[in-house]
Structure 1
Amino acid sequence: MPKAGIIYNDAKPIACQVAEKWFGELTAAGWEVVMATGAGGILGYSSPEKPVCHTPIESLVPARFDRDMTFVLVLGGDGTVLSGCRQLAPCGIPILAVNTGHMGFLTEAYLNQLPEAMAKVLAGEYEIEHRTMLTVKVIREHTHIWEALCLNEMVLHREPLTSMCHFEIEVGRHAPVDIAADGVIISTPTGSTAYGLSAGGPVITPGVPVLQLVPICPHSLASRALVFANTEPVTIFPANPNRLVMVVDGNAGCYVLPDDRVRVERSPYTAQFIRLKPPEFFHVLREKLGWGLPHVAKPTSVELP
């Protein structure tokens, strides 16, 4: 019996309804179907009273989800897709992401396209696109105290009401650099259209084997975005007397103390996206972000009678 999964955003009634519908249809078609919510992939934020909220990467895989699954249908917005990738990447399960949210930058289809999309998936008429993920670790006194799997970016920044920070950063075996800024971003090509883009970083097409470092509000004109090979691990030392806040993919956090260090490297796991036609990244940029739209000149002035 073939096996499939469904991960959905249980905070959205429409996602719940569609999940139940396709659970019934796939079961009737002879599939074993397992359901879970995307909430299981949210790592949670630390607090001053509990600065470390640690969930091991592999423990996020939902019960009964395994490598025997042919695919998983993910119903939600980009947040649910990010959560689902953390839940499924350790098992190497491809996902069909369907947008029930707003932007849907990472999704493959809209709800009104779902019947046609599912027909193609069940017929095996698709390809799989692999996206680079990051493993983020916090090390304190030689002890690994926190980790997370990341598809978009890791952000390390100052707390509110504190001054600008200094970061000593080592990329691979290169000489360390010092950056004075409000924070730093380490992102994948997938994340280059997220926070990194807002902070002035370049857009990177998903297939390029690189990572990028983007300073947030740097104090020097010399501190600009850096793109480097994704084989190079990054170690960040907070050269700063105050604790910092680290956020991964916008929904997981950990406090980083002055003597801690953060290590970011390419994960052995990849996010696997089902594509119903060859990926066309520029089309997505145009549709979602308006990139490359033709310039429209202002109308010529007309004299009123």
Structure 2
Amino acid sequence: MPKVGIVYNDLKPIACKVALELQEKLNACGWDVVTTTGCGGLLGYSQPSHPVCYTPIEQLIPPEFDADLTFAIVLGGDGTVLSAARQLAPCGIPLLAVNTGHMGFLTELYLNQLSPALEQVMKGDYTIEKRSMLTVQLYRDKTLLWEALSLNEMVIHREPLTSMCHFEIKIGHHASVDIAADGVIVSTPTGSTAYSLSSGGPVVTPDVPVLQLAPICPHSLASRALVFSDTEPVNIYPATPNRMIMVVDGNGGCYVLPEDRIHVKRSPYSAHFIRLQSTEFFRVLREKLGWGLPHIAKPTSVELP
């Protein structure tokens, strides 16, 4: 019996309703169905008094979700997709992402397109697009305090009401650099259209094997976004006496003290997304972010009534 998974946002009534309907429909078609909520992939927050507070990457896989799954359906917005990617990337399960949220930049289709799309996927008529991910780890001396799998980005920034911070950053074998800024972002190509884009970084197409370093509100005009090979690991050392905060994919993280080290590298795991038609990244940029739309000039004169 073929097996399929459903990951849904249990905070959205429409996602809960569709998940139940899908389970009944797939069972009637002879599929074994397992379900879980997106909250299983949410990352916790460690505290200074309790710094070791994380679930190892491989232990986020939900019960009964394994390599026997043909695919998994994700019902939610981009946050649910990010969560599902953290949960299922270690077992390489392809994700069919269905938008029940707002932007839905990472989703493949809308709810009104689900029925024909599901029939297409059940026939095996689709392609797989792989998206690179990050392994983010926080060390104090040689002790691993926190780690996470990330599809978008890792951000380290100052706490509110504190001054600008300094970061000593070493990329691969290259010489260390010092950046003075409110924070820094290390992102994947997928994350280049998220926080990194808002911080002035370039858009990177998903097939390019690179990572990106983008300062947040840098103090110097010389500190600008840097794109480099994803074979190069990144080590970030806080060069400031102030405590800082690290956030991964916008939903969890930990405090970073001056003696800590953040280690970021391309993960051995990739997110696998089901594509029902030829991937056209520029079309997604245009539809979701308005990139490349023709400029419409203002009239040279206005007639008064």
Does structure 2 conserve the Cα–Cα contact (< 8 Å) formed by 1:189 and 1:208?
A: yes
Partner residue in 1 for 2:249:
249
Instruction: Find runs of 4+ consecutive structure 1 residues off by over 6 angstroms.
Output: none
- CA distance in structure 2 between the aligned counterparts of 1:57 and 1:303, rounded to whole angstroms: 64
- What is the aligned-residue RMSD (CA, Å)? 0.9
Q: Deviations for 1:24-66, whole angstroms, at most 9, x for unmatched residues?
A: 0111111110000000000122334434421110110000000
SS in structure 1 opposite 2:113? helix
Partner residue in 2 for 1:271:
271
- CA distance in structure 1 between the aligned counterparts of 2:265 and 2:76, rounded to whole angstroms: 28
- CA distance in structure 2 between the aligned counterparts of 1:199 and 1:89, rounded to whole angstroms: 27
- CA distance in structure 2 between the aligned counterparts of 1:303 and 1:36, rounded to whole angstroms: 60
Partner residue in 1 for 2:235:
235
Partner residue in 2 for 1:289:
289
Partner residue in 1 for 2:299:
299
- CA distance in structure 1 between the aligned counterparts of 2:11 and 2:81, rounded to whole angstroms: 14
Residue 148 (str. 1) matches residue 145 (str. 2): no
Unaligned runs of 5+ in 2: none
Deviates more, 1:45-54 or 1:199-208: 45-54
Q: Deviations for 1:175-232, whole angstroms, at most 9, x for unmatched residues?
A: 0000000000000000000000000000000000000000000000000000000000
Partner residue in 2 for 1:108:
108
Residue 33 (str. 1) matches residue 50 (str. 2): no
Residue 9 (str. 1) matches residue 12 (str. 2): no
Does structure 1 conserve the Cα–Cα contact (< 8 Å) formed by 2:7 and 2:84?
A: yes
Partner residue in 2 for 1:165:
165
Partner residue in 2 for 1:21:
21
Residues 300, 233 of structure 1: alpha-carbon distance in 2 compared, 3 angstrom cutoff: same
Q: Deviations for 1:264-295, whole angstroms, at most 9, x for unmatched residues?
A: 00000000000001111000000000000000
1:216-231 equivalence runs, <5 A:
216-231=216-231
SS in structure 2 opposite 1:55? coil
Does structure 1 conserve the Cα–Cα contact (< 8 Å) formed by 2:185 and 2:196?
A: yes
> TM-score, normalising length from structure 2?
0.98
Give the aligned residue type for 1:147. E
1:61-100 equivalence runs, <5 A:
61-100=61-100
- CA distance in structure 2 between the aligned counterparts of 1:303 and 1:15, rounded to whole angstroms: 50
SS in structure 1 opposite 2:139? strand
Partner residue in 2 for 1:42:
42
The percent of aligned pairs where both chains have the same amino acid is: 73
Give the aligned residue type for 1:53. C
- CA distance in structure 1 between the aligned counterparts of 2:134 and 2:48, rounded to whole angstroms: 26
Does structure 2 conserve the Cα–Cα contact (< 8 Å) formed by 1:52 and 1:255?
A: no
> What is the Cα deviation at residue 299 of structure 1?
2.3
- CA distance in structure 1 between the aligned counterparts of 2:304 and 2:212, rounded to whole angstroms: 54
1:136-215 equivalence runs, <5 A:
136-215=136-215
Give the aligned residue type for 2:46. S
Residue 124 (str. 1) matches residue 124 (str. 2): yes
Give the aligned residue type for 1:216. I
- CA distance in structure 2 between the aligned counterparts of 1:280 and 1:21, rounded to whole angstroms: 31
- CA distance in structure 1 between the aligned counterparts of 2:68 and 2:45, rounded to whole angstroms: 32
> TM-score, normalising length from structure 1?
0.98
Deviates more, 1:47-56 or 1:232-241: 47-56
- CA distance in structure 2 between the aligned counterparts of 1:142 and 1:16, rounded to whole angstroms: 43
> What is the Cα deviation at residue 262 of structure 1?
0.2
1:49-64 equivalence runs, <5 A:
49-64=49-64
Give the aligned residue type for 1:45. Y
> How many positions carry a matched residue from both structures?
305
